[in-house]
Amino acid sequence: MKKLPRVLVVEDEPAIAELIAVNLRHNGFAPTVVFDAEAAQREVDAVLPDVVLLDWMLPGKSGVQLARAWRVDERTRGVPIILLTARSEESDKVQGLDAGADDYVTKPFSTQELLARIRAVLRRRAPENVPDTVHIGALVLDAAAHRVTWQGQELRLGPTEFRLLHYLMKHPERVHSRATLLDRVWGDHVFIEERTVDVHIKRLREGLGGAAVMIETVRGAGYRLSAAAATVG
Ligand code: CA
């Protein structure tokens, strides 16, 4: 199996750090979270990450100071850095990029945007290292290879079921209405009845075998993909 890209998350707000880490894990990255510059330095001394998400405002040494220090060090010079910050002013952005950051994301950011930035930075630095896989528990979807495995066993899904599963896996633990699924999976240019969604959900469940319990029907609301359902019993 391909090694997952290591992402060092340096963020002192636990809720934001946790949200980022969960999303990274779901999208094929191996995150490590630290809360300040000293811990970040220890982490980098131990093992070089593939990319660093670095909060600007940290207790003690700031993210910008840390980025500057890493850029002059031979060993850390090439590590991609994405600065996270609540500041949005143009001068701050310039200061961040001058300090050696590869990119810059202003809070509040969407996790999809953050993931896109990470992939873009990795693609520029190490094109072979960009994951296109989503992991939810033992269910793994590799979009590039068009493969789905459950507990290491390959599953056979039709193209629509594959797209439907991909969408649900990228947005887990959330209820999606039939109308939303039609819009996001089929596209809004087609006119399909909502019960078509039910037909494909049924086929998807058949194709998923043991993982079918992860697709939950939420009465009167729609469908949800949940990792928790697969770990019970
Ligand atoms: Ca902060």
Which is more confidently placed, 212 or 186? 212
The whole-number pLDDT of residue 233 equals: 41
What spacing in Å lies between the alpha carbon of 9 and ligand 1's midpoint? 12
CA gap 33, 8 in Å, rounded = 6
Provide mean pLDDT across the span 202-224: 95
Note whether 164 and 211 are within 8 A (CB).
no
Tell me, in angstroms, the distance from the centre of ligand 1 to residue 32's CA: 17
Residues of the chain with CATH 1.10.10.10: 133-231
Residue with the two structure tokens 């079918």: 212
Between 5 and 192, residue with greater pLDDT: 5
Find the 62 Cα to ligand 1 centroid distance in Å. 9
CA of 20 to the centre of ligand 1 (A): 14
Q: Confirm if 211 and 139 have CB atoms less than 8 A apart.
A: yes
**Beta-strand relationship, 51-55 and 81-85:** parallel
Average pLDDT for the chain: 88
The pTM score is 0.60
- pLDDT for position 144: 78
Note the pLDDT of residue 33: 98
Dist. CA 52 → ligand 1 center (Å): 15
Task: Supply the CATH classification number for the domain 6-125.
Answer: 3.40.50.2300
Rounded distance between C-alpha atoms, residue 81 and residue 62, angstroms: 14
Distance 59 CA to ligand 1 centre (A): 7
CA of 37 to the centre of ligand 1 (A): 11
CATH architecture of 133-231: Orthogonal Bundle (1.10)
Lowest mean pLDDT among 1-5, 38-42, 112-116, 177-181: 1-5
pLDDT of residue 166: 94
Residue 51 parent element (H or E):
strand 51-55
> What is the CA(24)–ligand 1 centre distance, in A?
19
In terms of Cα–Cα distance, which of 140, 177, 179, 195 is closest to 162? 140
pLDDT at residue 232, as a whole number: 46
Q: Which of 154, 155, 176, 173 is nearest to 164 (CA)?
A: 176
Spell out the residues 6+ positions from residue 184 whose beta carbon is closer than 8 angstroms to its own: 167, 176
What is the CA(75)–ligand 1 centre distance, in A?
26
CA of 122 to the centre of ligand 1 (A): 24
pLDDT at 3: 77
pLDDT on residue 214: 95
For CATH 3.40.50.2300, the residue range(s) in the chain are 6-125
pLDDT of 133-178, one tens digit each? 888 989 999 987 889 999 999 999 998 999 999 999 989 989 999 9
- Centre of ligand 1 to C-alpha 71, Å, is 21
pLDDT band for 101, please (50, 70, 90 cuts). confident
The protein residues having their C-beta less than 5 angstroms from ligand 1 (an ion) are 12, 55, 57
56-60, 192-196, 207-211: least confident range: 192-196
Tokens of 215: 């697709």
